[in-house]
């Protein structure tokens, strides 16, 4: 079957932070992307950001409004998870070193806004990066998964990737979590335990009914035993879909740690659970 045409803007840059694991604060990458999105919106080059975290649990805005969200957050922190509420869409997602986060930070197109186009771009990127190991990547909501949505990516009915989006005035971020290694059922059970605490007494429409057999990793589904081949494949796919301008980094004033720390505090104040 002929693949659908898709592309990334010319000069798209890759920032691979997947080996920078010294940041315990899970909001750091989200704060960084908030600043990078502003930079792109002001005329900077599009960016693909790759990152991982050792042990975190990221909630969506609707999760933060559950009756016992505070208690759920405390329980997670007692288990050693860095927790946060993200400002993009979607629901709760567990993260560890087997999960590769891929973010497309792109300028808004002129004309009519088409949210699905942006999700489609991420779907094609992940699908094409995995083409060498499996041709079976499907899209569509997987019942019982955590962070469910129309753009769940799955293999043989098991979800391994979810996609969310954050939009600013002149740019946007499409964020994908990709469960590459590990046991998908364990992550699903953690999400289910969180909801059992946080959503007690809530209407069933307010949170996903997570089932442990809905999730799996690419290690389980396609034999990927390490994250690096997937990271390399993503970068190769990006380079093939955009005309790289390697010197562009020299023209960018990247956010420094003080700016990111200030944005972390701002996000905590705006979205955090006390």
pLDDT per residue over 165-214, tens digit each?
999 999 999 999 999 999 999 999 999 999 999 999 998 889 999 999 99
pTM passes above 0.85 = yes
Count of helix runs (H) and strand runs (E) in the chain? 8, 10
At residue 116, the pLDDT reads 86
Give which of 119, 106, 116 is closest to 48, Cα–Cα: 106
Strands (E), 152-204: 153-155, 158-167, 171-179
Model confidence at 248: pLDDT above 80: no
Model confidence at 1: pLDDT above 70: no
Of 17-26, 58-67, 186-195, 244-253, least confident by mean pLDDT is: 244-253
Q: Which helix (H) or strand (E) holds 139?
A: strand 138-139
At residue 247, the pLDDT reads 53
Q: Is 147 a catalytic residue?
A: yes
Burial degree of 54 (CB within 10 A; 0-12, 13-18, 19+): middle
Residue ranges of domains in the chain, CATH in brackets: 13-242 (3.30.930.10)
pLDDT tens readout for residues 66-105: 999 999 999 999 999 999 999 888 899 999 999 999 999 9
Q: What is the β-pairing status of strands 158-167 and 153-155?
A: antiparallel
The predicted model gives 222-234 an average pLDDT of: 97
The token pair that represents 1 in the structure block = 């079957």
User: Which residues are CB-contacts of 41 (< 8 A; sequence separation ≥ 6)?
Assistant: 107, 108, 168, 169, 170, 171
The predicted model gives 125-145 an average pLDDT of: 96
Model confidence at 2: pLDDT above 60: no
At residue 112, the pLDDT reads 60
Looking at the DSSP assignment, which residues form a beta bridge with residue 59?
85
Q: How confident is the model at residue 10 (pLDDT cuts 50, 70, 90)?
A: confident
At residue 227, the pLDDT reads 98
Q: How confident is the model at residue 3 (pLDDT cuts 50, 70, 90)?
A: very low
At residue 244, the pLDDT reads 61
At residue 11, the pLDDT reads 87
Catalytic residue among 50, 130, 147, 263: 147
Model confidence at 242: pLDDT above 70: yes
Q: Which residue's structure tokens are 């599009």?
A: 46
């Amino acid at each position: 079957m002929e693949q659908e045409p898709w592309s990334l803007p010319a000069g798209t840059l890759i920032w691979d932070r997947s080996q920078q694991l010294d940041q315990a604060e899970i909001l750091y990458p989200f704060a960084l992307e908030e600043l990078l999105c502003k930079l792109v919106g002001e005329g900077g080059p599009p960016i693909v950001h790759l990152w991982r975290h050792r042990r975190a649990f990221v909630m969506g805005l609707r999760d933060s409004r559950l009756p016992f969200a505070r208690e759920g957050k405390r329980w997670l922190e007692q288990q050693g998870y860095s927790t946060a509420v993200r400002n993009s869409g979607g629901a709760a997602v567990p993260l560890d070193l087997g999960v590769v986060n891929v973010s497309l930070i792109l300028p808004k197109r002129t004309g009519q806004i088409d949210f699905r186009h942006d999700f489609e771009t991420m779907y094609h990127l992940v699908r094409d990066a995995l083409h060498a190991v499996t041709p079976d990547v499907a899209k569509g909501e997987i019942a019982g998964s955590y962070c469910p949505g129309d753009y769940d990516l799955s293999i043989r009915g098991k979800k391994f990737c979810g996609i969310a989006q954050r939009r600013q005035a002149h740019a946007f971020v499409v964020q994908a979590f990709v469960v590459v290694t590990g046991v998908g059922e364990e992550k699903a059970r953690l999400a289910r335990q969180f909801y059992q605490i946080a959503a007690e007494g809530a209407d069933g429409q307010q949170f996903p009914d997570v089932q442990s057999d809905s999730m799996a990793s690419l290690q389980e589904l396609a034999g990927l035993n390490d994250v690096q081949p997937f990271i390399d494949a993503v970068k190769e796919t990006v380079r093939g879909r955009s005309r790289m301008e390697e010197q562009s980094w020299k023209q960018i004033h990247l956010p420094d740690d003080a700016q990111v720390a200030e944005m972390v505090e701002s996000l905590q104040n705006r979205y955090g659970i006390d």
